[in-house]
Amino acid sequence: MKFAKRMESLPPYLFAEIDKKRQAAVARGVDIINMGIGDPDQPTPKHIVDAMHKAIDDPSTHNYPPYQGMKEFRESTVKWFEKRFGQKFNPDTECLSLIGSKEAIHNCIFATIDQGDIALLPDPAYPVYKTSTMLSGGKPYTMPLLEGNNWLPDLSKIPNDIAQKANIMIVGYPNNPTGAIAPIEFYDEVIAFAKKYDIIVLSDNAYSEITFDGYIAPSIFQAKGAKDVALEFQSLSKTYNMTGWRVGFAVGNEKVIKALGTVKTNIDSGVFKAIQKASVAAFESPKEVIDKINALYKERRDTGVKGLRDLGWKIKEPNKATFYLWLPIPPTFKSSTEFASAMLDRCGIVVPPGTGYGECGEGYFRIALTIDKKRIEEGISRMKKEGLVYAQGACSVK
């Protein structure tokens, strides 16, 4: 058998590899505490599920959906976006339904990157940004996200010749994996940079609604002139505990929407109509629904932060967004992979190593707060018992 050479350049998908190790540990009888994948553990709100049941019983939902998404869905989407961010979009030309944002990011990269084109990508970052660029024949150019710059890329460090050759830039805040947030001034800088070099900006805003302590995340479209160059991906996965439903949307520049839509019509047949109808119910959810979800994550965040501080981690300020904690590995470990392996082998805890998100993620690991508070406390207790603490010299490699 012969396979495409592009497959040789791809590393194994991070979360698939983590799950293999998890399953092997479970097979050995280990009580696993899974802090690996950002998959909400709570059910989809009942009113959304009820809307889905009703939609499934409607025979008109059983045929192919419109490629760009049902009109009802798109109108509900732009209505929600205007209410949330104060920005208007044409539901017919500036909006598109998505089978979750992951496929759309891939397809949009496929629509904008030719062989040899440069993509400006954050590092550490969601692995799909880089792998999709490579599959499209493009060249990833790393924009390091460093703690000293609040996990924001320093655009001034991008060489002029690289910027001139770049075709796209991807940003994503609130950020996965770091949990960092971006001020609107950052987006102003991004848009100005993109216009200067004729770059398309793809903004991954999947965590915009997972926020705490009074923080409200912005959209890139609140920056002046963003619609000239930008596209934003939104997903219902994290906001409404709908990861398995595979539904989201994109809004933005009409030409980029058209290009993405063209690729999608040749690859997929859209989102099941019943899911789109249920998504309309999600967009119409009272604020209390999201508040309840966020209150749970905040409690878990506070529990995790307190426990980790007790183990020596110097966490200055808890994340104001996402359900992730991004932390340095103890200094006695040589790599993030070594530490993640120790967490699994000695504590039965699954955490992804920072290097899985890019070279700049080395020296860190991520915790997903998508497990019960008591399990977080149990995880902290196991780490303490095994000596997996941050205090200099107190943690040993066995």
> Which residues are within 8 A (CB) of 59 and not within 5 positions of it... i.e. 6 or more apart?
none
Q: How many CB atoms lie within 10 A of CB 392?
A: 10
Residue 21: pLDDT band (50, 70, 90) is: confident
Q: Which of 49-63, 101-115, 293-307, 379-393 is least confident?
A: 379-393
Q: What's the chain's average pLDDT? A: 94
Mean pLDDT of 269-275: 97
| pLDDT (0 to 100) of residue 393 | 45
- Selected residue with higher pLDDT from 15 and 109: 109
pLDDT at residue 8 above 80? no
| pLDDT (0 to 100) of residue 78 | 98
Residue 122, SS3 per DSSP: strand
- DSSP 8-class letter at 200: E
Q: How confident is the model over 242-267, as pLDDT tens digits?
A: 999 999 999 999 999 999 999 999 99
Helices (H) and strands (E) in the chain, counts: 13, 11
Q: How confident is the model over 193-247, as pLDDT tens digits?
A: 999 999 999 999 999 999 999 999 999 999 999 999 999 999 999 999 999 999 9
What percent of the chain clears pLDDT 90, i.e. is strictly above it? Answer: 89
Residue with tokens 């809004």: 251
Q: Which alpha helices (DSSP H) does the chain contain, by range? A: 14-27, 46-56, 71-85, 100-112, 128-135, 160-165, 184-197, 236-239, 254-265, 273-283, 287-310, 336-347, 373-386
Mean pLDDT of 270-288: 97
| pLDDT (0 to 100) of residue 10 | 73
| pLDDT (0 to 100) of residue 392 | 58
Of 349, 342, 341, which Cα lies nearest the Cα of 376? 349
364 with 356: CB under 8 angstroms? no
In terms of C-beta distances under 8 Å and separation of at least 24 residues, what long-range contacts does 78-84 make, across chains too?
A: 78/251, 79/283, 80/283, 81/219, 81/234, 81/251, 84/208, 84/219
| pLDDT (0 to 100) of residue 397 | 38
Kindly report the pTM of this predicted structure.
0.94
Q: Which fold does the domain 46-283 belong to in CATH?
A: Aspartate Aminotransferase; domain 2 (3.40.640)
Q: How confident is the model over 335-352, as pLDDT tens digits?
A: 999 999 999 999 999 999
What length does the chain have?
398
pLDDT at residue 14 above 70? no
Mean pLDDT of 56-65: 97
Beta bridge partner(s), residue 119: 140, 168
Q: Where are the domains of the chain?
A: 5-43+288-386, 46-283
CATH code for residues 5-43+288-386: 3.90.1150.10
Mean pLDDT of 347-362: 95
Mean pLDDT of 281-307: 97
pLDDT at residue 284 above 70? yes
Q: For the chain, what is the largest distance between any 2 Cα atoms, rounded to a whole number of angstroms? A: 65
Beta bridge partner(s), residue 168: 119, 200
Q: How confident is the model over 369-390, as pLDDT tens digits?
A: 999 999 999 999 999 999 999 9
- What does residue 380 show for φ and ψ, rounded to 5 degrees? -60, -40
